[in-house]
Structure 1
Amino acid sequence: MIYKLLPTTEWDDARAAGQFTGTAVDHQDGFIHFSAADQVVETARRHFAGATGLTLLTVDPARLGDRLRWEPSRGGALFPHLYGPLPVAAVVVAQALPADVPAPDAVAALLG
C-alpha cells in the first residue's frame, strides 16, 4: 500500500468528484506525491507538523497502473508519484486524523 496525507476538505471534494487531482504542491510538481509505509511518518513530520483537519489515504498501487512511478526524492529514496488523477476507487481506507494529536504521531498510531 501507499499513503497520501491531505486536508480532509480536499478529500471530501475528491469523493464528490470521483477523483483527486492533487494538492497545490502536487500541481506545482506535476504529479501526486505519495509515501510508502516506511516514509509516511517522516512526510507527516516534515510537511504537516502542526496541521489539523487531515485525512490519511491508504491506496492500492495495483489500481493505478503505469501512471504510478517510483522516483528518487528525499535523500535519494524512491517515492511513489502518480502522473494523473487518483481515482477514489483506488483508495482502500480513508482515516481522518484526530485534531488533538500531532500528525506524525497520529499517522504512526494508525499504521501501528
Structure 2
Amino acid sequence: MIYHICNKNDWENALQKGFYKPENYEKDGFIHFSKPEQVCDTANRFYKNNKDLVLLEVEDQEDPLVRFENPPENPGDLFPHYYGILRIEKVLRVLPFPQQEDGTFTLNSNINSGKSYSK
C-alpha cells in the first residue's frame, strides 16, 4: 500500500468530481505518495501545522501508473509517484491523519486497524 497526504476538503471535492488531482500535479506531472514508513517524515517536513489532513490509501502492486523514484532532495530513498489523475475508486481507504499537540504527525493504529472515513 502507498499513501497520499491531502486536505480533507480537497478529498471531499474529489468525491464530487470523481477524481483527485492535487494543485501541484501540473508542475510535477505526478501525484506524490509515500510508503508507510515514509508517511510521518513526509508529513512533518511538508505539512507541519496543517490541519484537517487525511491519508489516501492506494494499492501499488501491479499498477503501471506507480513508479518508485529517487527524488533529488532525498537521494537514496525511493518514493512512489502516481503518473495519472487518481480516480476515486482507486482509493481503498481514507484515513484520518490528525496532528499531535506540537504540530507534528505520528502514525497511530488507523493504518492497521481498518478505521477509515467513508469514501
Give the shorter-chain TM-score range: 0.7 to 0.9
Matches within 5 A, 1:1-112: 1-21=1-21, 23-62=22-61, 65-73=63-71, 74-98=74-98, 101=101, 102-105=103-106, 108-109=107-108, 110-111=110-111
Greater helix percent: which structure?
Answer: 1
Q: C-alpha root-mean-square deviation of aligned residues, in Å?
A: 1.9
Q: TM-score, normalised by structure 2?
A: 0.79
Structure 1 unaligned blocks of 5 or more: none
- Bigger Rg over Cα: 2
Of structures 1 and 2, the one with the larger relative CO (CA 8 A, separation 6+) is: 1
Moved over 6 A (4+): none
How many residues end up aligned between the 2 structures? 108
Q: Percent identity?
A: 31
Q: TM-score, normalised by structure 1?
A: 0.84
Give the secondary structure class of the aligned counterpart of 1:98.
Answer: coil
Greater strand percent: which structure?
Answer: 1
Give the secondary structure class of the aligned counterpart of 2:45.
Answer: helix
Following the alignment from structure 2 to structure 1, what is the Cα–Cα distance between the partners of residues 89 and 53? 20
